[in-house]
A = this chain, B = another copy of it.
Amino acid sequence: MELYLQLTQFYQDYAAHVDRADWDAWIEMFTDDCTYSVQARENHERGLPMAALSLDGKGMLKDRIYGITETIFHDPYMQKHIVSAPRIISHSAELIEAQANYAVFRTKYDGIAQVFNVGRYIDRIRPTDEGLRFESRLCIFDNDMILNSLIYPI
């Protein structure tokens, strides 16, 4: 039960950090040797490697954030994540495997909220002395038509 509550808060913290574009807090949710990727469901299910975003290690996460905040020319937008309760697949003292469905709504300057990305998080989470950390987070999305504008992490 304690684990479930901790995991739920961890998931909601993640959503809050990304929605606020608090990228430093986002990076700190991962282990140093983490994997983060955003991939179409079809590719994931067929075991194909192509992904919209695929980052290995905290250094690449920092790089991506630097790109977003300093170099990529893009139309800013706001995100709002609705994340379901976690579904715990397995857990031990070293590793939690869990999943959750998500829907991300995007609002641009025109003020209209749109369904932006819907999918499933597939997570490996490591308990550490500083709290839970993502060893890997895969964002497996159903829709694949708006990726040219996927700028921020999901």
Q: Which residues of A contact B (CB under 8 A)?
A: 1-2, 4-5, 8-9, 11-13, 15-16, 19, 41, 78, 80-88, 99-103, 105, 107, 110-115, 117-120, 142-146
Contacts and interface: CB of A to CB of B under 8 A. Distances in A.
Contacts of A84: 12, 15, 81-83
B87 A9 contact: yes
**Assembly stoichiometry (copies):** 3
Contacts of A85: 8, 11-12, 83, 85
B101 A81 contact: yes
A145 B78 CA distance: 14
A15 B82 CA distance: 15
Given A16-B120, A82-B102, 12 more contacts: A9-B88, A15-B84, A19-B120, A41-B78, A80-B118, A81-B84, A81-B101, A82-B118, A105-B115, A110-B145, A112-B143, A114-B115
